[in-house]
Each structure stands twice: as structure tokens, then as C-alpha cells.
Chain A
Amino acid sequence: MLTLILILLPLAFSLILPVLKGEKEIRIVALTGTVAEFGVAMAALIQYVTSCHCQLMFTADWLATLGVGLTFSMDGISLPLVLLTVFLLPVIVLFSFSHHYRRPAAFYSLVLLMEMALIGVFTAADGLMFYIFWELTLIPAWFICAVWGGNDRIRITFKFFIYTFAGSLLMLLALIYIYFRTPLPHSFDFRVLYIAVLSPAEQTWLFLAFFLAFAIKIPIFPFHTWQPETYTEAPAEGSMLLAGIMLKMGIYGLIRLLIPICHLAFQQWGEIVMILSITGIVYASLIAIRQEDMKQLVAYSSIAHVGLIAAGVFALNLHGLQGSVIQMLSHGINIVGIFIIIDLIQQRTGSRNIADLGGIARKAPRLAVFFMIILLASIALPLTNGFVGEFLLLLGVFEYNHLYAAAAGLTIIFSAVYMMWMYQRVMFGDTTPMTEHITDLNNREMAALIPLVAVIFWIGVAPGFFMDIIWPDAVRVLALFNM
């Protein structure tokens, strides 16, 4: 029941919002909605942990005769992602108060609709529901990026939409195909999809369809071309939703569908997708070093980071899987933090070009400290969340193949290079005319950043809480793979 409330609550708020007038009122309601959602998720978490990992299943008939049910549940893989979503949304909404967007009601309504769709994707336990919510995320994401985005937004958001829509149609095709291979009566329930009888040849093709859909979303090299442009042109909140949460849908899909269903195809494709992921890490890192636009730099660094997460998933061992879930949390939190800081700098100075900036640390020490912590987390310093995830991921890849792990390990060195170099040029040195009058963080901005930093250290120092939630289901996924 809690799962259903989690889905319906943001929807209800997103339907209320367009009725309201007055920016202040709208903001309060939007924030209330996301905070209330967080509260419900906490209740779900408590229930999950105390009642020994019951799945919080909700089931209702929808197209019962055709084997489609309104089935939603949470297990150790989806719960962390749900928590990530409900945790980041209030932060994003709180941060967004520093902008004065035109038509705020529509904006926050779309943000909450997006939250609902994301929760739906992470909790769906039925293939068709998964697809419906998956597509549903695309509409608010497109509108947020297209209406409130930068100058070149029309062309770029269009590319983004076409790319991801084409990918997800392939997923729909694959899902229906598998549906007809399930034992009679056919069903879309994940548990039934997992036992579909598929020949190795069929799995090969299904693997490609699923992989393309997910690889575009994640994005894995060479399907990433929509991503840097979209992040750059999207409004800050749009980039946060895309990079922080939405791309996790792709990795979640890998774990939830690709691995259990197409396990035979990994003999043929496993090596190739692993190489693609690792190529993406090195390639994107090298490009990131040369970026002048901070947002673009972060966009490329994100490709590198998620490349490592994907590599950890494809390593198909316990460390890799656990690491990927933990790192999904960490990456979401860190990248939202970085986007917040970049946008704050841009609001104050009017630029996010590294060349225009300098000497901010002296003028705005609090900003510098927060930026430093989040950057260090992002380059995986011990005691931060990034370290836990990347360590496990590298361990997983190492168990798969030593050489690949060595290549993937470059990500840590590279990310230190581009992140620290950026930090050095932006925060230290002489002030420029643009940064001369920069002001430090105000209380609202601190309120948005402090929870992020708290979680960075929490996961970094005591990851056990999340590891305990994740591991039974990571084991289950691997059992399905080895079936």
C-alpha cells in the first residue's frame, strides 16, 4: 500500500499545482509535496527494514486476462533508488527557489509528475507497467528541458527525445516478444518474464534490443551523443533530474531485465559491452579534461562515472552489483551537488566558463568548502560515498578481468585531474571582474546543500546500512543469471 501511495502522492500534488496562483504559494505546495513524499518513503523504509525485507508489494488487476497487472514492489535494488529519488527531489525543489521561472505552476507540476514516473519505474514489478512509466518520464523531462532551457534547446531536446524514444520502443518490442515466450497464461509479471523459455539465438537479439534502450539512457559510449548537449542546454533542475535520477533508470533496467532474462547472451556480448563501458570511461574522461564550460565538463565526467557503474554491472559478480547500486546513489547525490554549485556560481557571476572565473574561494569560503567536499566525493576520496561505490565497482571489474580493472581504474586518476584542475582554476588564483563581487551562500542554499553533504559522509563512513539492504537482492539477481 505504501508503494502505491508513493506513486499517487506526487501525482496528486502535480494535479493540484496548476490550479494555484502566486509563485510563493506554488513553491510551498511543491516543497510540501516532495517532503511529504520523503516522509512516506521513510515509513516504507522502516517497514522494509523492520519486517525483514518484505517486498511492500501492491497488486491490483488491470488487464488481468492479458497478464498485465498493476504490480508494484520494492526490493533491495529498487528501494535505494526510490530513496535517492525522494531524497533528491526536495533538495532540487528547494534549490530551484533561487530561480524565478515563468509559469512556476507548470514547472513544479512537471517536476512532481517526473517524480511520480520515476518512482513508478523503480517500483514496477510488471513489464508493461515498467515500460509505461519509463516512457512517462520522458514527457515531463522533455518539457522541463525544452521550455525552461537554453538558446539551442529546440534542436537539442528534440534529439534527446527521438534518441531515447527510439530506444525504448525497442524495449517494448523485446518485452512483448518475451511475453509470448512465457508459460501459459502469458504474463508481464517480472517473475514470470524471468522464466520465459528463450533460445540462445533469441536471447542474442533481445539482448541487443534491451541493451540499446538502456545504453542510450545511461548513456554508454557510443550512444552518449545526446547527453552533454542536453545537460548543457537544460535548466539546472532539468540537468539534476536527468543526471541525478533519470539515467539510473537505464542501469536499473540492466539489473532488472537484461541480466536475468538474457543471461545466455552474455557469453557472446558480455565482453563487448564491458569493453564499450570501459572505452566510454577513458574516452569521456579525456574529453572532460579539455572542457571549458563547467556544466559540459560535469556532463562528460558523468559519462565516465556511469561507464564504470555499467562495467560493474556487466562484471556480474556480487561486488560489482552491490557497488553499482551504491554508486548509483552516490553519483546521484554528487552530481546534483555539483550542478547546484555550478548554477549558484553562474547565478552570481553570469558565467560558468572556467576561463571567466577565479579566486572565488577567497570571496565565498562557504561555497568553496561545500564545492570541495562534493568534488572530493565525486573523485572517490576515502570516507566519502564515492569511494565506497567505486572501490566495490573496481573490485568487481577486477574479479572479472585484471586488465579491464586497470583501465577502469584510470577513471579515479582522470577524475582527480579534471575535477581538481577545474576547482583550482575556478576557486583559486586572482579574482576576475566577474567574480569580484560574488556573495557567499545564503541560508536556503546551505539548507539544500547540507543534506547532500551529510549523506556523502554517511554512506562514506558507514555504508553497511545500504549494503545490508542491497545484498540479498544482488544475490538473487546473480542467482537468476546463473540459472
Chain B
Amino acid sequence: MTTILSLTLLGVLVLLLGILKKKTLQLPLILVGLLTALALTISDWNTARHLFNEMLIIDNTAVAFSAVLIFSTFLIFMFAAHYYQGVQRPLDDIYAIMIFALVGAVLMTSYGNLIMLFIGIETLSIALYVLAGSHKEAITSNEATLKYFLLGSFLSGFLLFGIALIYGASGSFSLHGIQLFVIANGQNLPPMFLAGLFLLIVGLAFKIAVVPFHFWAPDVYEGTPTLLTAFMATVVKTASVVAMYRFFSHTFYGIYGVWETTIWVLAALTILLGNFTGVYQPNLKRMLAYSSISHSGYMLLAVVAFSPFTGNALLLYSLTYSVATILAFGILILVREANGNDYFTSLNGIARTNPVEAFCLTIAMLSLAGIPPLAGFMGKYFLFTTALEQGLLWLVIIAITGSAISISYYFKPIVAMYLKENEGGKLNSGVPFKAHLIFLTLLLFLLGILPFLVIGLL
């Protein structure tokens, strides 16, 4: 509760500073505010509470994932000063909308009622439609926002329809109420209920960018301003996966058999298609888009491997994935700034001109590929373990195949940076930017070597 209040307040304050034309104060305020919100969130640890007639459930799952979301946003905002340097127009709207989107994401991790879930998703989505188009002069940004808005609002309709059908069948919006209904009618659920559940899955699958609902993702990612793409690829994805995990674990636990196959197929398709298509991408940003699609598949693997350990595995995975992705996007910001594009050739020979940046991107790629002892490996390891414990041998084999394929595109930037001759592009990053990159890199090592800092929390 304090999380949502403090974040909303922060957003309003940022807008206020915009009115007062105190541009230099904005970013420091946001960073401090996010850290405060993070601290407030963590102070809710182990104080499981229900609020507003179970509209919100602040349990440890909610606290942990909210913390991941706020932390990821903090990490992204650390790039903002560099990204928007030289931009003359006021930025308070973009910053405030990002924070409001974060509020939506936090709601998605702590909802106790499907209406609240819908409000969370809409808060997040509407903010994102605006953010995707925030680079008004660029045609690609306009394309991205239009595509995202049209598809997104359509799929929100699916979601709402699903919620309505579930309500129609069970007579309740609250997770608890629906759970009671499921327990009572476990064997013969009405078709309307199942249709609702299916629509709910489709709606969320779109937000997570799960195959076959992923077609928007590469285009939207490519057109959206890079800083905000990082936000989409990490915060939005984590929040949506957690939203899905939450209603499966709270409510639909009893009918595991009903949704298991659906999620199984979605996960397998996402891992395979995401990775295969990733191989053929011409530039870093689209490659990261497909990488993020395939990682949604891995996260679904955790959801379908339904065990008490799933929450832990998902927590570590989303954290490691977010940190590595944000790091990669940080370099991407520099590459685009230096070359105006982000084709792999723009990375050629960067290792010689910018050894630190090249090293950081290498670590990010290796972590995403899941190479020990980096964080990404521990994330994947716990996912696979959880899944194998549940006997999902074939899905794990598919996931492993996907990992092997993913090497071929995660290595493209590394090959370009270390093995190709430089074509003149030198990245310009200031000391704070570089320090942040190194911080993220160290974080990847830290989480890989000491995963127990995170694992076992839930």
C-alpha cells in the first residue's frame, strides 16, 4: 500500500517540478524517490495483509516482485540523464508516465481481485502507449505507438471479456471467491468459465509477448525510444508474468490439469520460435526483442512447473533477466547515439576503442545465454530444476535446445566487438554512465556467485 502511495506521490511531484521548471531536480528526486519506495516496499516484508476487501494482497510474493520492478525502474532511470542529454523540451511528462506505469506494474503483482488486475494492466498499458510514441518526430515511434495501441486495446478487450465470463460463471471477481468456486466445481466447470480462463491467458500472453501473440513486440521495441524499450522488456514483462503466476497459484491451483497443457504449448512455442527467429535479426535491438520473447518462454516454464519453489525460481530469473537486459540496453543506447543505427556492424571493433563497454555487453550476452558463473545461468538452473522436479522433462529438453540456439545470436555482438575491425565508431559514455554499466556487470557476477541472496526468499 505504501508502495503504491509513495510511487503515485512521486509521479505527481515530478509533474509539479515540471510546472515549477526545476528541471535539474527531477532526476535526483526520482532516483531518491524510487529508493525510498523500494525501502518502503521491503519494510512490508512478512506482514501479509489484505486491503480494501481483498482488492490488494500484500504478501511476500507481491513485496518481492514489486521490489524487483522498482529496482529495475531505478536501474533504467540511471541511464536517463545520459539518454536525454541535449533534449531541450521538458521531460517531466515522460518521467511521470514511466512512474505511473510502474504503479500499474506494482498493482499487477499485488492484486487480489481481477478488477484490480485489469486496472493495473490498463494503468500500465495506457502509460506505455504514450511512452512508445514519446519520440514524436520519429516516424518509427509513431508506428510503434499505433501498433501497440491498436493491438493492445484489442487484447485488453479479450482480457476484460475473460474476466466477465469468469465472473458470470463464478459470481465473483476476487481471487479467493473464484478459488472457492473452483474447489466446489473442480470436476465439472462450466464451459463459460473455461472460456473466460482461456481469454484471460490470451490477454496476459499478449502483454508478456508470448508466441503466437508476439508479433507486435519486435516492431514496437524497434520504434520505441530505447530507454523505454528497456522498460518494456523488463518491468512490463516481469509484471505480466507475475500477474499470470499469481492467479494460477492462488486461484486455479486446483485445476492444474486444465491449464497445464495450454501454458506448456505456449512456453514451448515461445522458446523455440523466439530463439529461432532471433538468429535472423539484423540488428541489436530486434535481436534483444526476440531474446526477450524467448525469455518469456522460460518464465512460462516456471509457471507451468507448478511447485512451491516456482516463486523463488521466477524471482531470481526475472531479476537476472532484467539486470542483463537493462545492461544490454544501456550499451544499445550508446551504440545508437554514436552511429544512428544499431546494426551489428556498428559494434565492429568496439573492443579496441571501448574495452569497458565491450566487456559489459559481453557479460550481459553471456548471462542471457546462461553461461556459468553468471546470474543468467543460476536463473536458468533453478528454472530447469523446478521444471524437472515436476517431471516436465520434454519441456526442459526444448528449453535446453532453445538455449543452445540462442548462443548463435548472443554471440553476434561479441564476435562483432572482438573479432571485426573497427569502422570508426567510438562510443561516448561519461563516467557516471560507465560506472553504472560496471555496477550492473558486477551485479550479474554477484547474483551468479551468490544466488542464495535471492533464492529461498519466498
B451/A146 in contact, CB under 8 A: no
Please, which residues of chain A bring their CB within 8 A of the CB of B393? 177
Contact for A176 among B371, B388, B451, B452, CB less than 8 A: B388
Closest-CB distance, B401 to chain A (whole angstroms) = 8
Interface stretch (choices A166-174, A224-232, A390-398): A166-174
Contact for B418 among A65, A143, A179, CB less than 8 A: A143
A173/B400 in contact, CB under 8 A: yes
Closest-CB distance, A318 to chain B (whole angstroms) = 35
Please, which residues of chain B bring their CB within 8 A of the CB of A143? 418
Residue B389 is within 8 A (CB to CB) of chain A in the complex: yes
Residue A421 is within 8 A (CB to CB) of chain B in the complex: no
A180/B389 in contact, CB under 8 A: yes
Please, which residues of chain B bring their CB within 8 A of the CB of A62? 452
A63/B452 in contact, CB under 8 A: yes
Closest-CB distance, B250 to chain A (whole angstroms) = 25
A158/B403 in contact, CB under 8 A: no
Residue B407 is within 8 A (CB to CB) of chain A in the complex: yes
Query: By CB atoms of chain A within 10 A, which of B366, B377, B404 has the most?
Result: B404
For residue B412, which residue of chain A has the nearest CB?
Answer: A158
A172/B373 in contact, CB under 8 A: no
For residue A149, which residue of chain B has the nearest CB?
Answer: B419
Task: Give the dominant DSSP class at B's interface.
Answer: helix
Residue B160 is within 8 A (CB to CB) of chain A in the complex: no
B455/A63 in contact, CB under 8 A: yes
A63/B372 in contact, CB under 8 A: no
Please, which residues of chain A bring their CB within 8 A of the CB of B400? 169-170, 172-173
B404/A166 in contact, CB under 8 A: yes
Q: Measured between alpha carbons, how far is A370 from B94 in the docked complex, in Å?
A: 72
Residue B408 is within 8 A (CB to CB) of chain A in the complex: yes
B372/A135 in contact, CB under 8 A: yes
Closest-CB distance, A212 to chain B (whole angstroms) = 12
Q: Mark B381-413, 1 if CB is under 8 A from A, else 0.
A: 100110011000100110010011001100100
Please, which residues of chain B bring their CB within 8 A of the CB of A180? 388-389
Q: Measured between alpha carbons, how far is A147 from B456 in the docked complex, in Å?
A: 40
Please, which residues of chain A bring their CB within 8 A of the CB of B403? 169
Given A136-B373, A139-B371, A147:B418 Cβ within 8 A: yes
Please, which residues of chain A bring their CB within 8 A of the CB of B455? 63, 66
For residue B391, which residue of chain A has the nearest CB?
Answer: A180
Q: Measured between alpha carbons, how far is A173 from B403 in the docked complex, in Å?
A: 12
Residue B12 is within 8 A (CB to CB) of chain A in the complex: no
Contact for B407 among A128, A147, A161, CB less than 8 A: A161
B366/A139 in contact, CB under 8 A: yes
Given A135-B371, A139-B366, A173-B384, A63:B415 Cβ within 8 A: no
Q: Which of A78-106 contact B (CB under 8 A)?
A: none
For residue A128, which residue of chain B has the nearest CB?
Answer: B381
Given A62-B452, A63-B452, A173:B396 Cβ within 8 A: yes
Please, which residues of chain B bring their CB within 8 A of the CB of A146? 415, 418-419
B404/A176 in contact, CB under 8 A: no
Q: Which of B413-458 contact A (CB under 8 A)?
A: 415, 418-419, 451-452, 455-456
For residue B371, which residue of chain A has the nearest CB?
Answer: A135
Contact for A158 among B372, B385, B396, B415, CB less than 8 A: B415
Closest-CB distance, B77 to chain A (whole angstroms) = 31
Closest-CB distance, A144 to chain B (whole angstroms) = 11
For residue A167, which residue of chain B has the nearest CB?
Answer: B404
Q: Mark A156-188, 1 if CB is under 8 A from B, else 0.
A: 001001100110011011001101100000000
Residue A154 is within 8 A (CB to CB) of chain B in the complex: yes
Q: Mark A129-148, 1 if CB is under 8 A from B, else 0.
A: 00110011011000100110
Please, which residues of chain B bring their CB within 8 A of the CB of A139? 366, 371
B411/A158 in contact, CB under 8 A: yes
B373/A165 in contact, CB under 8 A: no
Closest-CB distance, B361 to chain A (whole angstroms) = 14
A162/B408 in contact, CB under 8 A: yes
B389/A169 in contact, CB under 8 A: no
Contact for A153 among B366, B377, B397, B419, CB less than 8 A: B419
Please, which residues of chain A bring their CB within 8 A of the CB of B397? 173
Contact for A165 among B407, B451, B456, CB less than 8 A: B407
Given A63-B451, A143-B418, A154-B415, A176:B407 Cβ within 8 A: no
Please, which residues of chain B bring their CB within 8 A of the CB of A66? 385, 455
B373/A176 in contact, CB under 8 A: no
Q: Measured between alpha carbons, how far is A177 from B455 in the docked complex, in Å?
A: 20
Closest-CB distance, B234 to chain A (whole angstroms) = 25
B419/A154 in contact, CB under 8 A: yes
Contact for B373 among A132, A170, A177, CB less than 8 A: A132
Please, which residues of chain A bring their CB within 8 A of the CB of B452? 62-63
A147/B419 in contact, CB under 8 A: yes
Q: Measured between alpha carbons, how far is A407 from B261 in the docked complex, in Å?
A: 52
Closest-CB distance, A126 to chain B (whole angstroms) = 13
Closest-CB distance, A155 to chain B (whole angstroms) = 10
B385/A176 in contact, CB under 8 A: yes
Please, which residues of chain B bring their CB within 8 A of the CB of A166? 404
A161/B451 in contact, CB under 8 A: no
Q: Measured between alpha carbons, how far is A158 from B407 in the docked complex, in Å?
A: 9
Residues of B within 8 A of A (CB): 366, 371-373, 377, 381, 384-385, 388-389, 393, 396-397, 400, 403-404, 407-408, 411, 415, 418-419, 451-452, 455-456
Can you list 30 contacts pairing A with B, beta carbon distance less than 8 Å? A63-B452, A65-B456, A66-B455, A128-B381, A132-B372, A132-B373, A135-B372, A135-B377, A138-B371, A146-B415, A146-B418, A146-B419, A147-B418, A147-B419, A154-B415, A154-B419, A158-B408, A158-B411, A161-B407, A162-B407, A165-B407, A169-B403, A172-B381, A173-B388, A173-B397, A173-B400, A176-B381, A176-B385, A176-B388, A180-B389
